[in-house]
Amino acid sequence: MKRYLMWLAALPLLATAGPRQDYAQQWSLQLSRDDGGAYRVVLDEAVYRQAQSAQLRDVDVIDRSGAVVPASVFAPEQPIARAPQRVMLPWFPLPASPSGSATQGWELVSEVETDGRLRRVEARSTAADTAKLPQTSLLIDASRLRAPILALELEWAPGAALDAAYGVEASDDLDHWRSLGSSGRLVDLQRDGQRLVQRRIVFDAVGEQARYLRLTPQDPKSAAQINAVTAELAGNAASAPMQWRELKGRRVELKDGSIAFEYTLDGRFPIQQADVALPGNHALEWRLESRDNEEQGWYAQAGPWMAYQVAGKGEGDRSAARQLASTVRDRHWRLRANGAVPGEPVLRLGYRPEVVVFLAQGEPPYALVAGSARAARGNSPLAHLIEALRTSRGRDWQPADATLGSAVALAGASALVPAEPERDWYSYMLWAVLVGGALIVAGFAFSLLKSNKPAAP
């Protein structure tokens, strides 16, 4: 009985320690006010170095008991109350995919300017039934934008009732497309003199930054006839100062005999710009590539672009940093030049720190935890909550500030080891019962055969 009571007393302690032991490190959170309700904390380089997930899913907020509270990662300028920028984007109609088809049924032929903008797009049919389909898919050119897209707003001429679902894809080269978690539904319904309209396709809180977007209706014949596309961007995207990671690399010889320089980034930093530093005067054309691990192939991120430095008469001039097409969190980076490199180039990668917004739920004090191969932050409706609070409290409302305090080690390196898969003991027991039953039946059969054996003469 005493041992049983001791186990009961230890259960709250085990529940408290459990979530914390799934993470490598935690930082105390210092709140600017006690009645904020929702708070906003800027991430620092120590959090990025500790995080393991490419989507920062292993960065979360816990309360005093260790229970997780609603939290989400936002872009650097979000969710500060600033009027969002609205930019009209060029777009091109494309044939919709045949219903139930595994392929698009057409291929793109495009002319691209040197800065990535589309000059002309032609869709050539590769299937017999594609030419008959309406051109209700959209190819959107967002190459001139330098801030993440928070939402797309589409315009169409009023007419028949509309309720159309769209899939959203993104690409940086028009050849390789990735499906986005966001999906859109356009609605335009009227009844008894009232109208219900939904024009916006909303992305996640961080936003989407890609050169090109593609919208494809699930039902090609019931889609809207779009006549304008507007992107909604975070207001004043350049307000957050750019921070830089300077990396020293190693010279490697590639299979074709050319020379490259490889670098390793020490965290999940949201890289947006790149620059090359060399001593003395120089002018070289560079290509930048990245990958997340050594088993993957290299993916082009920038270039070719010219980086230079010219000094003379006490003055100097150098090229500006290169803007990447999208935010990249890869660990491994590679530089290639079109000529002989004088010295060892230093790769400079620029980023703007993101913010975590959390709800003051549970019992304070709160802490930010990071670094885990076993735990992942769940989805949270904080973006919708903030929008609702601004509707009720005014557009100038924003979460209260919080700052990162001292760091404390939790599980350390052991939290970075994936948990062993859980064993299905129920299946094991079921198989044991079946095998045991089969052995019993076999024993009965053997005993019957033995008892029915005729006696010897």
Q: Are 243 and 310 in contact (CB under 8 A)?
A: no
Coil, strand or helix at 170: strand
> Measured on CA atoms in the order 48, 54, 55, 57, is the torsion positive or negative?
negative
Q: How far is residue 206's CA from residue 51's CA, in Å, rounded to a whole number?
A: 17
pLDDT of 278 reads 92
Pick the closest to residue 352 from 180, 148, 50, 87 (CA basis).
148
Q: Where are the domains of the chain?
A: 24-81+353-416, 85-233, 243-351
pLDDT of 246 reads 96
**Cα radius of gyration (the chain):** 29
Distances (CA, A) of 184 to 17, 207, 222, 354: 41, 15, 14, 26
Please tell me the total number of residues recorded for the chain in this structure. Answer: 457
pLDDT of 98 reads 47
Residue 93 bridge partners (DSSP): 138
Going through 172-258 in order, the beta strands assigned E by DSSP cover: 178-191, 194-198, 200-202, 212-217, 226-233, 243-248, 250-253
243-351 CATH fold: Jelly Rolls (2.60.120)
Q: How far is residue 365's CA from residue 456's CA, in Å, rounded to a whole number?
A: 89
pLDDT of 11 reads 36
pLDDT per residue, tens digit, the chain (457 aa), is: 344 333 333 333 333 345 788 999 999 999 998 888 999 999 999 999 999 999 999 999 999 999 999 999 998 877 765 566 788 999 888 876 644 444 455 565 556 665 556 666 665 555 555 445 556 788 999 888 877 888 899 998 877 788 888 889 888 888 888 888 666 788 888 888 788 888 888 887 667 778 889 988 888 777 778 889 999 886 554 457 899 999 999 999 998 888 999 999 999 999 999 999 998 888 999 999 999 998 999 999 998 889 998 987 666 688 889 988 889 999 999 999 988 898 899 999 999 999 999 999 999 999 999 999 989 998 888 888 888 888 888 877 889 999 999 999 998 888 888 766 665 656 767 777 787 778 887 777 777 776 665 655 5
In the CATH hierarchy, which top-level class contains the domain 85-233?
mainly beta
pLDDT of 14 reads 36
Pick the closest to residue 204 from 43, 60, 73, 54 (CA basis).
73
Residue 246 bridge partners (DSSP): 348
Contact partners, residue 287, CB within 8 Å, separation at least 6: 300, 302, 303, 304, 335, 336, 337
Q: How far is residue 128's CA from residue 132's CA, in Å, rounded to a whole number?
A: 8
pLDDT of 243 reads 94
CA contacts within 13 A on the Cβ side of 187: 8
pLDDT of 257 reads 85
Q: Do domains 85-233 and 243-351 have the same CATH topology?
A: yes
